[in-house]
Amino acid sequence: MTQGAGAPPTVTRRPEQRSRPGSPRRLHGAWPLAALAAVFTVAQLVLVRPVLGLGWDEIVYTSQVTTHHPAAFFSAPRSRGVSFLVAPVASWSDSTALLRVYLAVLSGLGLFLALRVWRGLFPTRVLVVAGAFFASLWVTLFYGPQAMPNYWVAIGALVAVGAYLRHRDDPAARGPLWAVVAGAALMAWMRPTDAVWVSLPLLVLAAVGRRPRFLAATVGGLLAGGVPWVIEAYVAFGGLSERLAEASRIQGGLGLHMAVDDQLRSLGGRALCRPCTGSMPHPVITLWWFVLPLLAVLGLVVAVRAGRALRTAVPLACAATAAVPYLFTIEYAAPRFLQPAYALLAIPVADALWYLVTAPRGKWRPAVRTVVALGLAGHLVVQLTVLVHTVDRSTAGREDWARTADGLHRLGVDPPCLITGHESIPIGYYTGCSSGATTGNNENITVAGILSTAKERPVAEITRTGSLPPRYARSWPVHRVEDYDIRIAPGSVDAPRG
């Protein structure tokens, strides 16, 4: 049929086309995320500093792949993911500074890739603010360049959740499914139990929504990252149930415990709050923790009104399940435990912040923008203040271990050697010795084993000054080094050096 003379021209509407991954439009849109990741990397190197010595947990993970230090005892709750992550550097170099730079660059790259998965789900400006909020938390800056698992669980969570939402928008695309596999595997590789908690809402949605491909991708990723941990359970711990039981014992017995107040106490910069006693930090330090869920709820309201509720509800649900075990099942706290929850909450929080600065009309807009700006500036000041305090305190503690190691060397305790007693794992690492414990969570040797070792190599028992040593070491000659009493097994070392 011919078109009438007065009729408007017929327009054929084509479906909206996505930009190809390598198109100039997509590359241009990724630049703000790349710039954010670069700033995050530089901030770690400037504020945390590559010269920061290795901490206790870092020593356990790193020593598994080094050739220049004996491997420390590897307890049941730990997973090998961090050890493999640091292996490209730690396997051939003993430079802590090089390892810090490597991890800072890697963490910046991880943040960029994780946020890039969310492109198209939220405007780039929202993703930049979300990334900036998460990256500016003192706990993120402090642990980004460290050999610890929680930041990487957070990155895996961002990838997996964002990829699920992309898959839901385009079920035929294969890229999001592979991203789900990668995100789930990264989480399970680092901390298998955390990976399961984060993935619970995704697994439920996949089952209810009858999405077998997504369900297979999620389960496949969890298995790919978690199977090595399960295999090790049978090889080294007698089975999976035995390893889980031992992990629960080491963590004080998992069950129904209120740890919300413990997490609040840790916000002042306590790397490990166990036992978590003492007064709460100043309210200025903890205020952001109470504002965070309010902004997240506002982000959900904004999303519902905009007709994209699921894009906000899913990360909120995964953030909630990620936080549950660390708020309600253990009797201690560490701020790094909640990093996956913070990363997922950052998306709706950023959406809410943009709403606050753009939605109000008339005379309210300048007032609201001023409040938001002042709030963000104050938040950044608080986070940087806590970070500086935490870095200084951590540096002092690790320098104390290094000075103690120098004192041990002057006493003739040189590798190969064995350190037992108080803080034997970090002091042993800094001294270049093996570490041993006859009791406690790191029990890995008997008294007979210690005495037998003393016949072949230097053995030193370390206690805090004035503390009672174990019975087997009470007759050993005692030396004062820093705040420690060091007892060296008779005949196990040559004459001390001056």
Structure tokens at 39: 């700033």
Residue 97 has, within 13 A of its CA and on its CB side, a CA count of 3
- Beta-carbon contacts of 216 under 8 Å, excluding residues fewer than 6 positions away, are none
- Residue that terminates a domain, selected from 341, 359, 377: 359
Residue 313 inside a domain? The answer is: yes
Q: What is the mean pLDDT of residues 281-301?
A: 96
**What is the enclosing helix (H) or strand (E) of 436?**
strand 434-436
Mark 311-328 as b/e (b = at least 16 C-beta within 10 Å): bbbbbbbbbbbbbebbbe
Q: Please tell me the predicted confidence (pLDDT) of residue 25.
A: 53
- Residue that terminates a domain, selected from 359, 383, 409: 359
Q: What is the mean pLDDT of residues 459-484?
A: 94
- Domain range for 338 is 252-359
Residue 98 inside a domain? The answer is: no
Q: Please tell me the predicted confidence (pLDDT) of residue 75.
A: 96
Residue 472 inside a domain? The answer is: yes
| Residue 353 and residue 262 share a domain | yes
pLDDT score of 193 more than 60: yes
- Residue that terminates a domain, selected from 331, 359, 387: 359
Q: State the CB neighbour count (10 A cutoff) for residue 374.
A: 10
| Residue 407 and residue 336 share a domain | no
| Residue 409 and residue 355 share a domain | no
Q: Give the model's confidence band at 361: pLDDT under 50 very low, under 70 low, under 90 confident, else very high.
A: confident
Beta carbons of 160 and 180 less than 8 angstroms apart: yes
Question: Could you tell me the CA-to-CA distances from 465 to 364, 402, 436, 479, 480 in Å, in that order?
Answer: 62, 17, 20, 10, 8
Residue 326 has, within 13 A of its CA and on its CB side, a CA count of 25
Torsion of CA 199, 208, 212, 177, to 10 degrees: -40
Out of 148-152, 249-253, 316-320, 494-498, which region has the weakest mean confidence (pLDDT)? 494-498
**What is the enclosing helix (H) or strand (E) of 419?**
strand 418-421
Q: Please tell me the predicted confidence (pLDDT) of residue 20.
A: 46
Q: Please tell me the predicted confidence (pLDDT) of residue 470.
A: 95
* Dist. CA 467–CA 486, nearest whole Å: 11
pLDDT score of 455 more than 50: yes
**Percentage of the chain surpassing pLDDT 90?**
84
| Residue 347 and residue 263 share a domain | yes
Out of 18-27, 52-61, 75-84, 355-364, which region has the weakest mean confidence (pLDDT)? 18-27
Residues 419-451 pLDDT 10s: 999 999 999 999 999 999 999 999 999 999 999
Q: Rounded to 5 degrees, what are φ and ψ at 425?
A: -65, -55
Domain count, the chain: 2
| Residue 403 and residue 482 share a domain | yes
* Dist. CA 473–CA 147, nearest whole Å: 34
| Residue 350 and residue 260 share a domain | yes
Residue 82 inside a domain? The answer is: no
Residues 66-93 pLDDT 10s: 999 999 999 999 999 999 999 999 999 9
Structure tokens at 21: 């991954």
Q: What is the mean pLDDT of residues 230-235?
A: 97
Q: What is the mean pLDDT of residues 264-277?
A: 91
Torsion of CA 204, 209, 210, 214, to 10 degrees: -70
Structure tokens at 395: 């540096």
Is the pTM value of this prediction over 0.85?
yes
Q: What is the mean pLDDT of residues 322-341?
A: 96
Structure tokens at 344: 């997922």
Q: Please tell me the predicted confidence (pLDDT) of residue 7.
A: 42
**Beta bridge partner(s), residue 389:** none
pLDDT score of 463 more than 70: yes
| Residue 261 and residue 346 share a domain | yes
Residue 297 inside a domain? The answer is: yes
Residue 180 inside a domain? The answer is: no
Q: Please tell me the predicted confidence (pLDDT) of residue 27.
A: 54
Mean pLDDT over the full length of the chain: 92
Residue 421 inside a domain? The answer is: yes
Q: What is the mean pLDDT of residues 410-420?
A: 96
Which of 495, 498, 475, 477 has the alpha carbon at shortest distance from 487? 477
Q: Please tell me the predicted confidence (pLDDT) of residue 401.
A: 97
| Residue 261 and residue 325 share a domain | yes
Residue 338 inside a domain? The answer is: yes
